[in-house]
Amino acid sequence: MTQPPIVRFLDRSTPPHIVTLVLLAGISALSMNIFLPSLPNMTAHFDTEYRLMQLSVALYLAVNAVLQLAIGPISDRYGRRPVLLVSIALFMLATLGCIFAPSAGVFLAFRMAQAVIVTGMVLSRAVVRDMVPDAQAASMIGYVTMGMALVPMLGPAVGGVLDQVFGWQASFAMLFLCGALVLALTWADLGETAAPREVSLVGQFREYPELFRSRRFWGYALAASFASGAFFAYLGGAPFVGSEVLGLPPAALGLYFGLVALGYMGGNYLSGRFSVRVGINGMILRGTLVACLGPALSMLLFGLGIGHPLAFFGAMVLVGLGNGMTLPNATAGMLSVRPHLAGTASGLGGAIMIGGGAGLSALAGALLVPGTGPWPLLAIMLATSVLAVLSVQYVQRIDRLEGPLATRPPRPPHG
């Protein structure tokens, strides 16, 4: 088994420490959800409708998706380190714009600009794949995202308290301070891990068809997309369910909202512990099946008339657990189909995943209106979870026909 490279903390001549990778991925996750308990108060502050402010999730995800198409090839060409440093600095500027926005429209514009921090999520995975191969990458990504899961678990809870004490802008002030910390840490610790490539940037983009032709890439990408689609729908709809259906105040909503990350952290631990032994496809299948149980259980409890917050938020722990088992392994699969295009694959796969998530988040926000209860959201989450199961079964079928990824010929035309 290939040994990981030597890593020395705060030494730019070596690859980054795992703490740096966790925080790079974590600030991207924190930016996505710390302010969600404040959405009702932000709606009142800007004197607008909830569905307009909910676009701060959907539009953020949409710009995320577009940016990821460029981040991968740019980092494959110019390196992980400079792309990360520039992106974090731009994120800090956009965060200041959110804090001082005079209107909902200006806020949404700066909120879209904040999406540049997705570079931390994309390139933390690519750096792992630069350092170690295949199943080892799934294991290391699992540990990275297990640590990262603490951030979105605590984020909504902290954001809800900050909102109640200082107002909704306090969550964005915290994001700015976190960005400054991560920028300093990245500068001091993250050595370059991408192998130099002579291919021009235009040439990098021309290599996208090599990934498009890979059936395995699409299988892994769709498994990740549908699995995370349930979570993104949750991001878009859970604040409405918590505040309008269950009547929770922002601080309580933040605490309940973070329960899903407990499951995600547990699933990532299982990925880190068992991915090498079970294999990435086996872990993805188990994870997608577990995720299906979450919305199904919540539907059952609401159908029985049990309207306690745990009937919704407690059942979502299973979605988090399943995603924690699925996403590190599906990501490792995407990045291992064409290892020389790890950054490009991470960006393209992330764009597919986040783009679908933006649509599902917006759909959940549009369907949830007074009187619907949680049912539209739960239906979306169950449907996407089932599609994730079918996607990994497609990859398993390719393995049965052509052999597993590790034992097949290096680069067949349609593998």
pLDDT tens per residue across span 273-320: 888 889 899 999 999 999 999 999 999 999 999 989 999 999 999 999
Helix (H, G, I), strand (E, B) or coil at 4: coil
Residues 318, 321, 327: CA angle, nearest 5 degrees: 130
pLDDT range class, residue 1, cuts 50, 70, 90: very low
Q: What is the DSSP letter of 408?
A: S
Q: Which of 134-143, 166-175, 190-199, 254-263 has the lowest mean pLDDT?
A: 134-143
The CA distance from 268 to 208, in Å, is 29
Domain spanning 18-402: CATH 1.10.760.10: no
Helix, strand, coil abundance in the chain, percent, nearest 5: 80, 0, 20
Q: Compute the average pLDDT of residues 62-74.
A: 82
Instruction: Give residue 4's pLDDT.
Output: 58
The CA distance from 179 to 120, in Å, is 11
Q: Are 256 and 157 in contact (CB under 8 A)?
A: no
Residues 6+ apart with CB under 8 A from 260: 153, 231, 234, 313, 316, 317, 319, 320
Report the mean per-residue pLDDT for the chain: 84
Instruction: Give residue 409's pLDDT.
Output: 37
Nearest to 188 by CA among 342, 19, 72: 19
Indicate the burial class of 412 (C-beta count within 10 angstroms; 0-12, 13-18, 19 or more): exposed
Instruction: Give residue 50's pLDDT.
Output: 77
pLDDT range class, residue 200, cuts 50, 70, 90: low
pLDDT range class, residue 89, cuts 50, 70, 90: very high
The CA distance from 178 to 183, in Å, is 9
- The token pair at 134 is 């295949």
Please report which residue ranges of 241-258 form alpha helices under DSSP H: 250-257
Most trustworthy range by pLDDT among 32-36, 61-65, 169-173, 364-368: 169-173
pLDDT range class, residue 408, cuts 50, 70, 90: very low
Summarised one tens digit per residue, pLDDT across range 255-276 is 888 788 789 888 988 987 888 8
All structural domains of the chain with their residue ranges:
18-402
pLDDT range class, residue 365, cuts 50, 70, 90: confident
The CA distance from 87 to 188, in Å, is 16
Residue with tokens 């607008």: 48
